[in-house]
Amino acid sequence: MEISKELQDAINDQINFELYSGYIYLSMAAYFESINLSGMAHWMKIQAGEEYEHAMRFWEHVSDRGGRVTLTEIKAPATQWDSPQAAFENAYEHEKIVTGRIFKIGELAKKLGDKSAIPMLNWFYKEQVEEEEQTQRIAGLLKQIGDQKGALFMLDQKLGAREK
């Protein structure tokens, strides 16, 4: 079943947004490196890689269904945050936006009767629960830590152990 132009355009927009998401997380990694939190920088670099994998998952769906992927300009992300907590809160808010965008693609697929998109979107629905939970949890831990430098460095070390 060939993908409709309307769904193709929506997914192309999401591909570009996933690439932008990766760009945001790379910018956060650079921020964390600049304040000597290499564990958090490592966590964000892995997160950026996941966002690029998400873009490719959408890409493959469009391509496999005879569609055409179209890339557009990616706007520059923020480069500075007031604190590690603010960066992770920003990441959490961003993930909520991503979730809403994916839900809209799902609503469009349902409206168009595109049953081929549903399995792919179901994977993303589950993935977004994880993405939101992780960023919200880390932001919450940073809020609890407050000005306790020892606890901050312990969390940084823990986040630096992330493998995937």
The residues spanned by each domain of the chain are 5-160
pLDDT tens-place string over residues 59-115: 999 999 999 999 999 999 999 999 999 999 999 999 999 999 999 999 999 999 999
Q: Is 145 helix (H, G, I), strand (E, B) or coil?
A: helix
Q: Which residue has the tokens 């993405």?
A: 131
d(CA 32, CA 138): 14
pTM for this model (two decimals):
0.95
Which CATH number among 3.30.499.10, 3.40.640.10, 3.40.1160.10, 1.20.1260.10 corresponds to the domain 5-160?
1.20.1260.10
Q: Are 124 and 9 in contact (CB under 8 A)?
A: no
Residue 63: count other Cβ atoms within 10 Å of its Cβ: 13
Q: Are 98 and 131 in contact (CB under 8 A)?
A: yes
At residue 118, the pLDDT reads: 95
